[in-house]
Amino acid sequence: MASFEENRELSTSKPSISSKNSVFSRSMTTHSSVANTFSKKGYVSSAASTVVDRNAANMKKWYSNTFDSAVEESPYNHHLAKLRPAKSFSSDFKDCWSILDVSTIRFPGTEDRVVVYFTSLRGIRRTREDCDAVRMIFRAYKVFVDERDVSMDAAYRKEIQGLLGEKNVTLPQVFIKGRYVGGVELIRQWNETGELRKILQSLPTRDRRFVCDSCGDVRFLPCSNCSGSRKIFDEDEEVMKRCLECNENGLIRCPECCL
């Protein structure tokens, strides 16, 4: 009868699992419970049971040290603890003015406008998207933007290379009030924080729906001297010569919308 009661107690009892280690120490707890059961039934010797219990205790200690303290001792958490909220760019509005004030690159004659060097070619998708984004941002503020397409006139490419003193220039590049600002990232940041509006508020504006009747906002027209052929006939010498009034594409700046 005593043996029957003991077996029934073993069959109905459930191994106790600590709530703290219920996820990671399940296999270890089961291993320990099975070892105790086999020991009570006499299937293993007391010495073997002691070894199993010692291994189970070591496993429990390893799991506890590994998983319970991992969150507290993780170097990633120490890194997070050292982080501080980044200072808002808009909280220090002097930064954007200081960029304009200390800029050593000046563009004389453009103090009353925004000058954007860009490309209308679709060869590099990222570059074209950045150029379109900058142009749309400035158009939303209704200020006059002197758009200079380097793909339509090679002279603009040489011009921006000379201003920045670099041969390989990424596009777009922006000048505000005759001073060099930078590229698309800074313009986007200033636009999102509202600082770009304050910088542009003193510039002349125009209707954002304005479309030039002469060029359709392309900023270029076929040369009226050579009709875009880039060649004219010299009657005195009776030879064809290169037209000096247009660029390499036979185009001239629109006299209506370009200053």
Q: Give the pLDDT band (50/70/90) at residue 80.
A: very low
Provide the pLDDT confidence category of residue 63 given band limits of 50, 70 and 90.
Answer: low
Kindly report whether the global pTM for this prediction surpasses the value 0.85.
no
Q: What is the pLDDT of residue 71?
A: 40
pLDDT of amino acid 55: 63
Residue 256 has pLDDT above 90, yes or no: no
**Tokens, residue 71:** 């969150």
Tell which residue, 67, 217, 228, has the closest CA to residue 146: 217
According to the model, what pLDDT value does residue 147 have?
A: 93
Count of C-beta atoms within a 10 Å radius of residue 171? 22
Q: What is the predicted pLDDT for the residue at 98?
A: 64
DSSP reduced 3-state for 146:
strand
pLDDT of 116 higher than 80: yes
pLDDT of 69 > 70? The answer is: no
pLDDT in tens, 159-193: 999 999 999 999 999 999 999 999 999 999 999 99
pLDDT of residue 216: 87
Question: CA-to-CA distance for 29 and 83, rounded, in angstroms?
Answer: 39
**d(C-alpha 251, C-alpha 173), whole Å:** 23
Domains and CATH numbers, the chain: 2-72 (no CATH), 89-200 (3.40.30.10), 220-253 (no CATH)
What is the residue type of 2? A
| pLDDT given for residue 24 in this prediction | 44
pLDDT tens per residue across span 123-145? 889 999 999 999 999 989 989 89
Q: Where are the alpha helices (DSSP H) in 14-45?
A: 26-41
Residue 35 has pLDDT above 90, yes or no: no
Check if the beta carbon of residue 171 is closer than 8 Å to that of residue 164. Answer: no
Residue-wise pLDDT for 11-26, tens only, equals 555 444 444 444 444 4
What mean pLDDT, rounded, does the chain reach? Answer: 75
Q: What percent of the chain has pLDDT over 90?
A: 44
Pick the more confident residue, 235 or 96: 235
* Residue 165: other Cβ atoms inside 10 A: 8
Tell me which DSSP letter residue 86 carries.
Answer: P
Coil vs helix vs strand at 82? helix
Give the per-residue pLDDT at 135: 94
Q: Which two tokens stand for residue 99?
A: 């960029």
| Secondary structure (H, E, C), 198-255 | HHHCCCCECCCCCCCCCCCCCCEEECCCCCCCCEEEECCCCEEEECCCCCCCCEEECC
pLDDT for res 254:
92
- For residue range 207-247, list pLDDT tens digits in order: 767 788 889 888 999 999 999 999 999 888 889 999 999 99
Query: Is residue 33 very low, low, confident or very high in pLDDT (cuts 50, 70, 90)?
Result: low
User: Which runs of E-coded beta strand occur in the chain?
Assistant: 114-118, 145-149, 173-176, 179-182, 220-222, 231-234, 239-242, 251-253
